[in-house]
Chain A
Amino acid sequence: MKKIRKYFRPMLVALTVITIIETAAFLVLNRANAGSQNTPQEIDGYNIGQVSGDVQVDLKDIQTHASDVQAELCIEMPTLDPWNPYATLIVDGVAIPNSEVAVLDAKDPKVMQTANRCYLFTFPLSSDGSISGKGVLKLDKLWLELGRGQLTDAVIAEVRARLSKMAPGVDFEMVSVSGKGGGGVLINITSKPENMSDEDVERLIQRLSIDEISTNWQTEISLK
């Protein structure tokens, strides 16, 4: 009985401390990330380099809502190609990837005729939406689907050329099915090294069909 009394107080303190740490960790993680299977994963492309002198970005607006943070950025693209930006919001050391990216004035016929384009980024928050303080908005990369998202013969030739450098021994065929109210494209792997699974090869082919330019732009923002 005496021993229990002796250790009761330290155990209670330790338990309380552990509970506080766990609660804090849960809140931080849950706030930054919904934790569902819908949590977006980063787009992974073939790095074709970095913008010299970094990309010009103008933060136009930032708004904090109950369920998300929205940021409006105008970005000077490296070419007139339809590049897509990919950004993350870092809060309390946790990176929240953008779940939505929309071109502003998307249907303006001139929107893609200029390299300076404006986008609305959405970063999802958990249901409590109790985000405040400071965060870092980071433009991670610009990515471009070769063939505007179609695995055309030209795209396949480019992917094969990249494959020969990165994973010799991998080859594939592309099968396209269309005219059924839409369509789809699948990849038939015709050869691969023994240490690579079909999924690894598919991920690699997928990655090599996307150009990626990494950027260093980031800015500190205030979240209210």
Chain B
Amino acid sequence: MCALLIKKHHHWEFKQYLENTRRILQNEEEKMKKNLLRLTILLRILSVLTFTFFPINTAFAATCSSSSCNWMDPSGTTCWNDAYDAVIHYASTMWNINKYSPGCIANFSYTRNTSSTWLAAETVGIYTYNGDQRYLYVWNNMWDGTGTICTKGHMGSSQTNYTVHTTSACA
């Protein structure tokens, strides 16, 4: 009888132990769930903030695109950094390049000589930059490169007094 009582007591103690363990585990699980939820919310907030203030490719994003590049100086922009020479026209010691930026979808005119002189960079029908002193090379503002853009270069003995010209370089 005594042995039976002891056995029952042990059984009850074991059940209590199991119940306690289950409760502890349940509490831990709830805590973990709460923590996981908090962590998820925190990460979500961080990601929203990150993508809002530092969008993907910020470092490589184009300075402008097509018509938003109009009248913009390419110097110091991403547009010049990826620009390549779409067309080159040579005349005497000078050459004019129709430069095209695929990132900005914009063209600009670039005129260079073998030594400093009076130079001009023209985007035909749009705008000509006349160097205000002797330069080794000059460029003008960009223009929307969605369509065909033509450029010319000029060189001479003083500002706007040009004697050497390249023909239209279109791209």
Taking Cβ atoms with an 8 Å cutoff, the residues of A that contact B are 37-41, 43-44, 82, 84, 97-103, 106-107, 109, 112, 145, 148-151, 176-187, 199, 202-203, 206-207
Residue contact A37 to B164, C-beta cutoff 8 Å: yes
User: A138 to chain B: closest CB distance in Å?
Assistant: 16
Asked whether B140 is an interface residue with its Cβ less than 8 Å from the other chain, the reply is yes
Given A40-B91, A109-B102, A203-B115: A103 in contact with B86 (beta carbons within 8 A): yes
CB<8 Å pairs between A and B, sample of 14: A40-B90, A41-B90, A41-B114, A43-B90, A103-B85, A107-B171, A148-B80, A149-B97, A149-B110, A179-B75, A184-B137, A186-B133, A186-B134, A203-B115
Across-interface contacts of B164 in A (CB, < 8 A) = 37-38
Taking Cβ atoms with an 8 Å cutoff, the residues of B that contact A are 71, 73, 75-76, 80-81, 83-93, 95, 97, 99-100, 102, 108, 110, 112, 114-116, 119, 121, 127, 129, 131-141, 145, 163-167, 169, 171
Closest to A176 in B: B75
User: B119 to chain A: closest CB distance in Å?
Assistant: 7
Across-interface contacts of A40 in B (CB, < 8 A) = 90-92, 95
Across-interface contacts of A102 in B (CB, < 8 A) = 86-88, 169, 171
Please measure, in the bound complex, the distance between the C-alpha atom of A205 and the C-alpha atom of B48, giving whole angstroms: 50
Partner among B71, B91, B129, B145 whose Cβ is within 8 Å of the Cβ of A183: B129
Residue contact A182 to B135, C-beta cutoff 8 Å: no
Residue contact B80 to A82, C-beta cutoff 8 Å: no
Partner among A148, A180, A206 whose Cβ is within 8 Å of the Cβ of B83: A148
Residue contact B129 to A181, C-beta cutoff 8 Å: yes
Known: A40-B95, A184-B133, A186-B116. 10 other contacts (CB 8 A): A37-B164, A100-B88, A107-B86, A107-B145, A148-B81, A182-B139, A183-B75, A184-B119, A184-B139, A207-B114
User: A167 to chain B: closest CB distance in Å?
Assistant: 15
